[in-house]
Amino acid sequence: MTRLFNEPAAFADEMIEGFVASHGRWVRRVSGGVARSTKSIPDTVALVIGGGSGHYPAFAGLVGQGLAHGAAMGNLFASPSAQQVYNVAKAASNGGGVLLGYGNYAGDVLHFTQAQDKLRAEGIDCRSIAVTDDISSAPLAEKHKRRGIAGDLTVFKVAAAAAEAGYSLDAVVGIAERANDRTRSFGVAFTGCTLPGAPEPLFTVPAGRMAVGMGIHGEPGIAETDIPTADELAELLVKDLLAEVPEGLSVEGARVVPILNGLGSVKYEELFVVYRRVAQLLAEAGIEAVDPQVGELVTSFDMAGTSLTLFWLDAELEELWLAPADAPAFRRGAVTAQALDADELAAGAEQEAVIPDASDESRAAAPAVLAALDAAKAVIDANVAELGRIDAIAGDGDHGIGMERGVHAAAAAAADAVERGAGAGTTLFLAADAWADKAGGTSGALWGMALRAVGQAVGDTEAPNAAAVAAGVAEAKRSIMDFGRAKVGDKTLVDVLSPFSDALTAAVQGGASLRESWGAAAAVAEQAAEATANLLPVMGRARPHAEKSLGTPDAGAVSMALIVRAIHNTLVENTVKENA
């Protein structure tokens, strides 16, 4: 269990504060995460990495000369928001373009892609690499669906070394993609991990048993076996990894970087015992181990487990892997770095959002937006544990926590906007950004998109009306389905959002008031959420354990149905102008 914390909701922020205070020689705090506190070579590529907190040394521990230029740091096990990624990238940019690197998880893909689009719109050349090294998470034919785990390190290290050496952005991207294609990982766990303040682990493993192929966010393994000896574990890991040699390569005579990674509470001494046999097996196969790494590199809080990564080298990749680096958690060779001056250190701090002008009618309606968000906050607070329980059946169990963080941030941002005289549209915009920023993860991205779409339709010039609200919800549906690529039947919140939007639009177009329309659509949403119990997920972290979720509704669908019903009792019934 995680024992040392204050308020669980503040854990990630307080962790970052302490990390920066203790590692100021390497990093500085910027809005959204950390960036180098040392000068980088002008007009070179900046590597910005990131993901959820709870995996140290990933990701902040890999920021420093010869490694990453910045790290966007999300909440616990939740991807950073698009705004966080954008802010860190702006702070870290050197003028030679930006490469974004992250593990292949739905929330990270959504947020990093949004940040990439925003950077490109400002004229900054930006590319992305999603690491896909975990062989247990999808078959080779669907390698693009695989998760990124400890293989993050190999991809980030060589890409950063190429950037430091002055490679063009195209060349750095090519190096990162080649490293990703040549990296394979496989992991096991003996216990699950427990988030700060949580009463129980995200998953459990029976005493004397081992979960095979688990994920670093608490996703259950794909199989269970009796706990083996150290030698037997080494043999399992090596056998499975050598069964999938990268295309065009052979085992005999290969040069490979082996990384035996501890996931949080396996002792280094135990890892050394396991690596002893790994080294023997690689040698017996005719493989030369280059610069082996044994230790904690990508963790999962207090999870007891380990993973083995094999990084298959060529001459260029080996040179880049062995290049000097000086980061808090990864150092090699001699590196000379000049510290930033005071003004440079202060760059990237958060700035208060400007409130644009709004009509009296729109400002008068803004408290209704706040009331709706407060109602959403109350219903999520009342159901956070149940949402987590539902999500843990086949996923990582953090949906309730993520929704709680997001809706609390959105409500607080809306309250501040109303106090500062914002119109209804701007209130929704700021709430959307806050939700996405603080919740992270897939749900954070999608709820941020939804609130922004409604805010765009409502605007700041008139009081919200039924037609505008329905149009905003329809746009939210379209943008979420286009961006997230989910469709009805995939067991996601789209299974609720789509019929809810269709029912709302139909009722409004039929002449019903907004109160009547929203109420009828909320009933449709509730039925749709219940019906997701009969579906199998085809997207996200629950996909590898689809059969476990049969009979249980989707957590994202349930939370959406709860919120639209709560809104029906506040915003629609009491305070929104009803004219279609």
Q: Give the pair of three-digit tokens for residue 221.
A: 């393994």
Specify the DSSP class assigned to residue 536. Answer: -
Cβ atoms of 416 and 353 within 8 Å: the answer is no
Catalytic residue among 23, 55, 69, 217: 217
Cβ atoms of 29 and 17 within 8 Å: the answer is yes
Residue 287: burial class (beta carbons within 10 Å; 0-12, 13-18, 19+)? buried
Angle between helices 441-458 and 424-439 (to 10 degrees): 170
d(CA 153, CA 197): 29
d(CA 56, CA 162): 24
Q: Which of 209, 216, 211, 229 is nearest to 309 (CA)?
A: 216
Specify the DSSP class assigned to residue 27. Answer: E
Cβ atoms of 358 and 428 within 8 Å: the answer is no
Specify the DSSP class assigned to residue 554. Answer: -
d(CA 542, CA 490): 11
Peptide bond connecting 429 to the previous residue in cis, omega within 30 degrees of 0: no
Return phi, psi of residue 290, to 5°: -110, 120
Q: Is there a catalytic annotation at residue 568?
A: no
Residue 141: burial class (beta carbons within 10 Å; 0-12, 13-18, 19+)? exposed
For the chain, give the number of residues: 580
Return phi, psi of residue 331, to 5°: -135, 140
Q: Which of 123, 121, 102 is nearest to 52 (CA)?
A: 102
Cβ atoms of 241 and 430 within 8 Å: the answer is no
Q: Give the pair of three-digit tokens for residue 357.
A: 């002008």
d(CA 373, CA 377): 6
d(CA 418, CA 357): 13
Cα distances (Å, whole numbers) of residue 575 to 359, 503, 509, 527, 572: 17, 21, 21, 26, 6
Per residue, the 3-state secondary structure of 91-121, as one string, reads: HHCCCCCEEEEEECCHHHHHHHHHHHHHHHH
Q: Which of 161, 144, 145, 165 is nearest to 153 (CA)?
A: 161
d(CA 267, CA 300): 14
Cβ atoms of 93 and 125 within 8 Å: the answer is no
Q: Which of the residues are catalytic? A: 217
